[in-house]
Amino acid sequence: MIEWKIISSGSNGNCVLVNDVMIDCGVPFKRIKEHLYDINYLLLTHIHSDHINSSTLENIKKLFPKITIIGNYQIAQLYDIDIIGNSDFKITLSSFEVTPFECFHDVITQGYTWCVDGENIIYATDTSSLENAPHLKFDYLFIESNHDEKKLEMARNKSKYGYDPYTGGKRHLSTQQCKTFYYLNRRSKESQLIELHKSERFY
């Protein structure tokens, strides 16, 4: 049985729990401290501060040394982590194997897949494509569903204060892309889609 909880997902911070796995820690330490007693693994996707809160990560390392921290080589250049994950190469942990895969963002970003009790899980956010995702059938799909394509199109050429919301939105997976991936890669109709990183403006 998979238990999951979204603590935060979006530009204000990202942290999701899936059984004894935490994905990203881009929130204040006090928001997640109570959960950390049940966590064995922390999967980090990329270096952006809404995914890695530096002080939170330091507190996790100091106060919860039992938690194994996994991230890519760019993360390892900035933080002391336990395992550097290479895309498409399995990492064998004590209770399961996890496979990072490359996402498409403006920094090195990875999604993850793993299997618990025969159920396949995929987690991917901050990417414009899932073309590198493993070809598996999934039971739990934690997938970015940032914006509705029609709503985002209405923001084309409407940059304000130097920020172009259309270009920014295109760096993320749309709701249409998310749901297409879900229908093509779910194991059954019972497979769960958990939409992540929803834009308050364009979802």
Reported as a single tens digit per residue, the pLDDT across 36-46 is: 999 999 999 99
The side-by-side arrangement of strands in the sheet containing 68-71 is 4-8, 15-18, 21-23, 41-43, 68-71, 83-84
Predicted pLDDT at 36: 98
Tell me how far apart the alpha carbons of residues 174 and 163 are, in angstroms, rounded to a whole number: 19
Q: Which amino acid is at 186?
A: R
Closest CA to 4 of 200, 198, 192: 192
Predicted pLDDT at 28: 98
Residues with pLDDT less than 70, the chain = 152, 154-155, 157-170
Predicted pLDDT at 145: 95
Predicted pLDDT at 199: 85
Predicted pLDDT at 92: 97
Residues 35 and 7 sit within 8 Å (Cβ to Cβ) = yes
Predicted pLDDT at 158: 65
